[in-house]
A and B are shown apart, each in its own frame.
Chain A
């Protein structure tokens, strides 16, 4: 009996193929999407480019127009290679402190995101803790928490920025507050569920040892809620990025991905908008990736079954 449990059976991983074979379905899909994108770019920009040829009164063929649709300066839909070129240019072409550098703008947005995420996650955890410990608070807080998310953030954001600006708080903090306002919600809801997830027997055990409420929280409720916490944090971190970007829009901020998007739309710089969007999505992917890595690390320490 004792030996069988020590030898944890090593299950063979079925179907180990080369990287290429394994990634083939994903690659095919990506290629198909890129092809569709090019097709859409040609179709959408066709009229624009043809009109330009007409205006300049130069002779042109359909081939010229089609080629033009993929090289236009301000197309309706930029082609992927244009976006990538502008993106690469924005990332590597300028010093990271330059206002033209995407790295600079991403850093500005990222710092607001991270601060907002930390504030929001903490707020969510505190609210959830209060809710699971008091019926009164559950009844009084929960409706407001849900209501807070029904207000469109685009309406709230300018108010927050203006009010905080009036009392002298500018820059990073107002954006972080908007971001926190959005991202505390999934954390609060997830953690209420998580803190209530312990098995009744596990709670009875604590009672038989006459544990204090704080011991029950630290040694039972909190560890039980950790899987719920990470699921909520993954949702929260992407939302907090959106919050930070939205927070950059109403002020006409000088820096940040939001500012970049706004500037792009003022001047019809569609390629610049798309490059900024690409930066934002890469940022979001990196943030979720970091939460996932933390989750794995914590999971290993907490004996999660691999």
Chain B
């Protein structure tokens, strides 16, 4: 709490203001630590996502809805960035923009130095949706093989990769099962294996564990963290769970609705290897507190 008390409304406004580059805000006040300084991070490692002054306004029957306004964000290779905010804050929309599933109204958006559309055509990312969205007429194995079929991998390569990634998400032995024969958590793990199957360097995850119970969710959080640590992929992760965001991320982007905008950016320089017990430590609680304050200052708790 003491960390947040001195933050004023103008601080929040400064963060929300569109600017060329987001200032790194270290919650620990450790600017000397090179791994948390965003400028060094982004200059040392190539940018995966470069978002500048991005806005999106939906035209609906009831008039215009400003989904996102003045979004500025740079994400470097190997980061685990979470978007957190209440429903309607545009976090999913921002992820869909990055994936070229929506088109911005104004602003610039580059993925790996090219436009989002070009990056999609180059199959730059794997996307995990909130629902597993497995194709019900395909076995688990064939679901994992589907993107590989589309991308023209050989039959042998497809089988080998399906085997490898199903093992990675602990689903060995379920290759021949159909989706309905699996629990919700297992289906979501299969969908993660499917997103990983073609080995994209960028993983976009839209509340992948939102529909799961807490026990399964904790377990999958740990597995995902291990996976990220092992593979060195860049992950952009949408969630509305504060503990999940703090536990997983190297950086947390706090968003607020109407219009959707970034109100706080929180760096977390936790050790890469951590267990669920980490969530009881003071550092964890401090960051979680700050996220909560950020959400509150964005009037997310008004309703």
> Is the Cβ of A199 less than 8 Å from the Cβ of B133?
yes
> Is the Cβ of A303 less than 8 Å from the Cβ of B180?
yes
> Is the Cβ of A8 less than 8 Å from the Cβ of B181?
yes
> Is the Cβ of B150 less than 8 Å from the Cβ of A201?
no
> Is the Cβ of B180 less than 8 Å from the Cβ of A305?
yes
Q: Mark A203-216, 1 if CB is under 8 A from B, else 0.
A: 01111111100010
Q: Provide 12 A-B residue pairs closer than 8 Å at the C-beta atoms, listed in order of the A residue.
A: A1-B216, A6-B174, A6-B181, A199-B133, A201-B129, A206-B150, A208-B101, A209-B198, A210-B123, A219-B149, A302-B137, A305-B178
Q: Is A202 an interface residue (CB 8 A)?
A: yes
Q: Is B127 an interface residue (CB 8 A)?
A: yes
A8–B180 alpha-carbon span in the complex (Å):
10
Stretch of B182-190, B246-254, B276-284 lying at the A interface:
B182-190
Q: Is B58 an interface residue (CB 8 A)?
A: no
Ordered nearest first, which 5 A-B pairs have the shortest CB separation?
A303-B178, A302-B137, A201-B133, A208-B127, A209-B147
Q: Mark A200-234, 1 if CB is under 8 A from B, else 0.
A: 01101111111100010001100100100000000
Residues of B within 8 A of A1 (CB): 183, 185-186, 216
Contact residues, B168-206 vs A (CB, 8 A): 170, 173-174, 177-183, 185-186, 198
Residues of A within 8 A of B182 (CB): 5
Residues of A within 8 A of B24 (CB): none
Q: Is B136 an interface residue (CB 8 A)?
A: yes
> Is the Cβ of A208 less than 8 Å from the Cβ of B125?
yes
> Is the Cβ of A303 less than 8 Å from the Cβ of B136?
yes
> Is the Cβ of A204 less than 8 Å from the Cβ of B180?
no
A1-B183, A5-B181, A5-B183 known; A202+B151 contact, CB < 8 A = no
A199-B133, A208-B125, A210-B120 known; A4+B183 contact, CB < 8 A = yes
The answer, among B120, B136, B180, for a CB contact under 8 Å with A208, is: B120
> Is the Cβ of A204 less than 8 Å from the Cβ of B129?
yes
Q: Is A62 an interface residue (CB 8 A)?
A: no
> Is the Cβ of B183 less than 8 Å from the Cβ of A207?
no
Q: Is A2 an interface residue (CB 8 A)?
A: yes
Q: Which residue of B lies closest to A208 (CB)?
A: B127
Q: Mark A291-306, 1 if CB is under 8 A from B, else 0.
A: 0000000000011110
Q: Which residue of A lies closest to B117 (CB)?
A: A210
**Min CB gap A48→B, angstroms:** 59
Residues of A within 8 A of B120 (CB): 207-208, 210
> Is the Cβ of B101 less than 8 Å from the Cβ of A215?
no
> Is the Cβ of B133 less than 8 Å from the Cβ of A202?
yes
**Min CB gap A210→B, angstroms:** 5
A199–B121 alpha-carbon span in the complex (Å):
22
> Is the Cβ of A204 less than 8 Å from the Cβ of B178?
no
Contact residues, B130-181 vs A (CB, 8 A): 131, 133, 135-139, 146-147, 149-151, 170, 173-174, 177-181
Q: Is B99 an interface residue (CB 8 A)?
A: yes
Q: Which residue of A lies closest to B198 (CB)?
A: A209
> Is the Cβ of A204 less than 8 Å from the Cβ of B183?
no
A4–B131 alpha-carbon span in the complex (Å):
21
A210–B151 alpha-carbon span in the complex (Å):
9
Q: Which residue of B lies closest to A298 (CB)?
A: B137
The answer, among A6, A211, A223, A302, for a CB contact under 8 Å with B150, is: A211
A204–B133 alpha-carbon span in the complex (Å):
10
> Is the Cβ of A226 less than 8 Å from the Cβ of B137?
yes
**Min CB gap B217→A, angstroms:** 12
> Is the Cβ of B139 less than 8 Å from the Cβ of A303?
yes
> Is the Cβ of A209 less than 8 Å from the Cβ of B216?
no
Q: Which residue of B lies closest to A210 (CB)?
A: B121
The answer, among A6, A207, A219, A302, for a CB contact under 8 Å with B146, is: A219
A223–B150 alpha-carbon span in the complex (Å):
15
Q: Which residue of A lies closest to B186 (CB)?
A: A5
**Min CB gap A20→B, angstroms:** 36
> Is the Cβ of B150 less than 8 Å from the Cβ of A219?
yes
